[in-house]
Amino acid sequence: MKTCLYEQHIALKAKIVDFEGWQMPISYESAVKEHQWVRENAGLFDISHMAKVWIEGPKSEAFLNYIATNQVDKIRDNRAQYTVLCDENGMSVDDVIIYKESSERYFIAVNASNREKDLAHFIKYGKDFDVKITPNFQTHGIIALQGPKSEEILSKFFGQIDELKFMRFDSFSDRGVQLIVSRTGYTGEHGYEIYGDEEAIVELWMEMLYKNPDVVKPIGLAARDTLRLEMGYALYGHELSDQISPLESIASWVVKWKESDFLGKEALKKIKDQGVKRSQHAIILEENAIARPGCAVLVNGKERAVVTSGGYSPTLKRSIALIMVDGVLKESDKVGVLIRNREIEAKVVKLPFIEKV
């Protein structure tokens, strides 16, 4: 599959890879340079492989509050909330962002690899709430503009963008076309995500790049991943999965023990009451060997953990990783990652790896 921006990536000589069935740009030049550019300027990402699902009807809030671990009933209009969706066993179906236009109209941004699974999940549990569920998989595009200069750039296209606060969104007009702009992102930077019809998204992409070449550059998936890793953000399939409960993950903060029932609540309560047997932590390696997902991790000389995400941090100029551990780690624990039959020492640190921007 190809996004509406595929031809633009080819014109920009991007390196294209298959990502969950999508032909996506992994990089345009050096992934490290792209990473640094986002931290210092503004980077433009094609994230059209992700998808929107609209939830509408009088019971929309009750439905979403039931399938989400976070407190959807606390969201105000034109605000967004990160949450995890669980199954009956308390395992993670996906991590998503829920956007509220009103108590009867929401949309959900879902991961590319989970779009069909999530849709089936919504339909299955939506039947009891009589909500209208509409997938927007085919005719929309999504781009993200991230970095300290993103507001300066976006203000040239949309007035009053400076009034948009973190985790809020609004509709803006661009040449008579309505676009949704949210102050959200996956990099930890001041940034925005823009949703709209494919034609409008392609035009906006081209204008941002070609009118601001000294500030805005296209950024691929490789840098997107290292940017999120530095911030300690969960990636589905790594820190969350159908075998990993949100309580065991770095996203555990989204499990709110609200009074109302929610899907997976009893299973999560059982995990909590029995004592969470696994936990996730951040480590910095003492050498620049890369800890890839799946690498075994020794804790005090015993194999007790595995790397879920790992890579080189261009900001720290160090190798960093997130790991899943049997039990809980202390900062005093001696940790080593097995890389090519060598044990590389590492230290346990608190997230995020870098200061929030």
pLDDT tens digit sequence for 294-315: 999 999 999 999 999 999 999 9
- Among 39-53, 68-82, 170-184, name the one with the lowest average pLDDT: 170-184
Other CB atoms within 10 A of residue 76 CB: 9
Distance of CA 7 to CAs 4, 235, 257, 317, 322, Å?
8, 27, 46, 34, 35
Distance of CA 87 to CAs 68, 74, 246, Å?
10, 22, 11
- Report whether pLDDT(176) > 80: no
Among candidate residues 333, 334, 332, 305, the one with its CA nearest the CA of residue 321: 305
pTM given for the model = 0.95
Superfamily per CATH, domain 232-349: Aminomethyltransferase beta-barrel domains (2.40.30.110)
Residue 137's pLDDT band (boundaries 50, 70, 90)? Answer: confident
The pLDDT tens digits of the residues spanning 265-285 come to 999 999 999 988 999 999 999
- Can you give the pLDDT at residue 342? 95
* Mean pLDDT, residues 109-117: 94
- Can you give the pLDDT at residue 39? 98
- Can you give the pLDDT at residue 127? 94
Residue 351's pLDDT band (boundaries 50, 70, 90)? Answer: very high
Q: What is the CA angle 4-83-148, rounded to 5?
A: 60
The pLDDT tens digits of the residues spanning 189-243 come to 999 999 999 999 999 999 999 999 999 999 999 999 999 999 999 999 999 999 9
Q: What is the mean pLDDT of the chain?
A: 95
* Mean pLDDT, residues 28-52: 97
C-alpha 68/C-alpha 86 separation (Å) is 7
- Can you give the pLDDT at residue 64? 98
Superfamily per CATH, domain 1-231: Probable tRNA modification gtpase trme; domain 1 (3.30.1360.120)
- Can you give the pLDDT at residue 149? 97
Residue 321's pLDDT band (boundaries 50, 70, 90)? Answer: very high
Q: pLDDT > 90: what percent of the chain?
A: 91
Q: Domain residues of the chain, as ranges?
A: 1-231, 232-349
* Mean pLDDT, residues 150-170: 94
- Report whether pLDDT(174) > 80: no
- Report whether pLDDT(108) > 90: yes
Residue 356's pLDDT band (boundaries 50, 70, 90)? Answer: low
Encoded tokens for 261: 């029932």
* Mean pLDDT, residues 314-341: 94
- Report whether pLDDT(129) > 80: yes
